[in-house]
A and B are shown apart, each in its own frame.
Chain A
Amino acid sequence: MKKSMFARLGVLFLSVVLLAAFGTVAAAKDIRVGGIMDTTGATSDVGKDYAIGMADAFKYINSQGGVNGKKIKYTWFDYGYRIPEAITKYKMLKRIGAVAIMGWGTGDTEALSPTVNKDKIPYVSASYSAHLTNPAKTPYNLFFSSDYSTNARCCLTAWFDKKWPNHPDFGKRKPRMACCYQFSSPYCSAPINAIKNQAKLLGFEIGPDQDVNLMALDTKSQIMALKAFKPDVVWHGNTVMSVAATIRDAYALGLGAAWIIDNWGFDENLPRLAGEAAEGAMGATPCAFFGQNVKNMDLVVTSAEKYSPGVPLGKRTIHTVQAWGDALVLWEALKRADAAGVDITKKGSGPAIMKKGFETMRNFDIGLGAAPISYTATDHRPATGCRVQEWKGGKFEVVEDVNLKKRWPDLWEKSEKEGGFFGY
């Protein structure tokens, strides 16, 4: 009897010890999320703010209890916009057990896509290339924003709707459109087919493309080449530094064309860098500018102050907001997957995070002035259109909210091969 009592006490003691030990391990288990950012490379003019914004967002998420009580351990690296380095960093993040990765550029995201598919790790990128939106080809690639092709189509459509009717030649001839971008950059070239097809759809005459390097400071030769074509509107697909240089040169040389710009070239720094040449420039804005009065912007601004106090608020841009957009969709996906019983701390939980998390979102509202977000198992285009804004009189103004799906429902569903909008 006594022996039995001591044996029971012994078992109880051992159980307490084991529970204490493993309980500590369980409580300490974080959700590993990786980040591959550009803070020193060719797109660091916009990448640094995005990287800082992303780190702010994860600190905020953890301050709110993380994912249903589980903290996110976010580890990020600068890869300097070099694809080999992005691949190395990706492998490292995979080794440390990242269940999702926040990526950056189109070149590296597209290069990593086959590996990501094989590893089944959700990869939320700052590349909004439409090539990444077809789950039949890239089932683990995601982003919160309208894709570059949609942005380009929307910008051209907004200019056609709102500006072309005021042109003296309206009704007399076709409008003329040309493109400036770095030919060799996957990011810059991603939406070029789309905008040209949109131009054909709307009845534009298309001029010769101009190769403008992402690091260009002098673009006079390209502007002189454009002068012969006399474009009414020029699409610019680079980031803000080279966009500003091109706009300045075009202004100085009297090109006289309007500018429509992809989102990474259209930010708060554009008017600072291009001065009065930026007046009237229009661009794709997948979310609000930093500090604009929209839902959840207060979280972005207060977190910027709290978590990056060394960076002046005046230097923060829309790219911080974009980072939050991607962080918030991941947060929501993880919350949904966790609530559905998925062990989101476990390596290899990617397929379940996709199925029970991301792909359950239907018109999910993240605020931030972004369009409602949907992902399905067959379509990762998060939004069906884009807000187009214009720099006018010292502030950004909405030109038009273009919804491609509503306006061209048949084309929205069709693939590129079928002459539609899907997948490029």
Chain B
Amino acid sequence: MKKSLILLIALLFGFGLVFSSCVTTDTPVKPNNSNFVAPKIELAGFEVPQYDGYWYIAKTVKPTKGEAGDRGAFLPMTFTFKITNPNVYPINLEEIKYSVVFDKSFMVMTTSDQMSNWIPAGMADEVKVTTLVTVRSALACLLVPGSVEMKKRGWENWSTLEKWWKGIPEGTVPVTLAECGFTFTAGDVTMVYPYRVDVQ
């Protein structure tokens, strides 16, 4: 009888655990469009995590190894954001969509980073996103969407690229994060907030 009682208590405890885990995933305040407060987004840092100089090799040049092609130096860029959640419930940072602009006018890339980054209620978190452009991809931007602005400024493509590749790691060329969209979710609520910042 005693053994049975212990077993019964153990089973009830087990049920309790299973159901309590379901219950505790709910937050006391249910997120909705009207109680969702915009998180605070700040740029906490910018770095070029690996620098490989400025170079470009046209496809007419035979490489030592591998295949020839129009290839240029990579310029990786890491942006660190501090996100503060002022809400009384946790929020999930799901996506950061952003464009990188050099010299105030030349949008050299647009991309999106997807993630699942939960930020507890009232807390802050830091999120890093890394992207890169190459001399080749930046050249394509100058030749197509940037061509009108280049003509207006009277700038030349290759000297502009060299200035960027040397100046950005040293902090002498303006870099801007533009047309950003930070997507947050909580429960069934999805909110996207714009962001723009002069990085340097």
Contact = CB atoms under 8 A, between A and B. Distances in A.
Interface string A208-245: 00000011010000000000000000000001010000
A75 B190 contact: no
Given A40-B108, A40-B109, A80 B140 contact: yes
Contacts of A77: 111
A48 interface: yes
Interface in A57-113: 59, 62-63, 75-78, 80-81
A10 B15 CA distance: 10
Contacts of A43: 144
A308 B145 contact: no
Interface string B154-183: 000000000000000000000000111101
B114 A20 contact: no
B190 A59 contact: yes
A311 B144 contact: no
Contacts of B145: 44-45, 48, 241
B181 A310 contact: yes
A273 interface: yes
A16 B11 contact: no
Contact of A13 (B15, B110, B141): B15
A336 to B, nearest CB: 25
A128 B123 CA distance: 48
B19 to A, nearest CB: 8
B110 A9 contact: no
Nearest to B69: A84
A44 B181 CA distance: 19
Interface stretch (B51-59, B77-85, B192-200): B192-200
A41 B7 CA distance: 68
Contact of B4 (A2, A20, A81, A239): A2
Nearest to A43: B144
Contacts of A13: 11, 14-15, 18
Contacts of A273: 148
A309 B109 contact: no
Interface string A1-13: 0100010011001
Contacts of A20: 18, 21-22
Contact of B192 (A10, A78, A239, A308): A308
Interface in B116-149: 133, 137, 140-141, 143-145, 147-148
A20 B143 CA distance: 56
A63 to B, nearest CB: 6
Contacts of B11: 6, 9-10, 13
B140 A42 contact: yes
Nearest 3 pairs of A and B residues by beta carbon = A310-B194, A309-B194, A215-B143
Interface of A: 2, 6, 9-10, 13, 16-17, 20, 39-45, 48, 51-52, 55, 59, 62-63, 75-78, 80-81, 214-215, 217, 239, 241, 273, 306-311
